[in-house]
Amino acid sequence: MPTHNISYDAHPSPAALSAEDQELLEAAKGALPNSYSPYSNFQVAAAARLEDGTVVTGWNTENAAYPMCICAEPATLAAAASQRPGMPVVAMAITVKSANHVLDQPASPCGSCRQQLHEHESRFGTKMKLILRGESGPVFVFESAGDILPFGFSGKLL
């Protein structure tokens, strides 16, 4: 039977990351208070590092009509596209904070976000490293956003 394996690093703390990846995670953490999440009380923020080293942040923005909520990941991709049109995002740190409990584990991007991250990689033919952390606890690092979307929909089919 065919199998699909995913490999990733699970570091006990951010101290194991390179200086630039630690900075990216700090930038995401610093953006958490910008989250507009009065309905879920669940803040999500991301920091993208672009090919030229620019760091751009984004966060989730909710709406009283719940399906219109904007996740942090596509908000960050859109912010990056506005600031540096046509430039790929080479790494994205994503972190979360709940008003209800301390999240001591990373939160995985939702399916819609994964598809959008995957599209970014296919569009530019580049890989986007993902650095995920909760409020505390381990840091998961995936070398490519595509790693967390096996069998993602491909525009090559259209």
DSSP assignments along 47-108, one per residue? EEEETTS-EEEEE-B--SSGGG-B-HHHHHHHHHHHHSTT--EEEEEEEEEESSS---SPPP
For the question of residue 73 being annotated catalytic, the response is yes
* Chain residues 52-71 in contact with ligand THU, contact rule CB under 6 A: 60, 62, 69, 71
**79 interacts with ligand THU by CB under 6 A:** no
Select which of 20, 62, 73, 121 is catalytic: 73
Q: Which of 11, 22, 34, 42 binds ligand THU (CB under 6 A)?
A: 42
The distance of closest approach from Cβ of residue 73 to ligand THU in the complex, given in angstroms and rounded to an integer, is 6
60: nearest Cα among 48, 72, 68: 72
Residue 4 corresponds to which tokens in the numbers above?
Answer: 């699909």
Residues in contact with ligand THU by CB under 6 A are 37, 40, 42, 44, 60, 62, 69, 71-73, 109-110, 113
- Residues involved in catalysis: 73
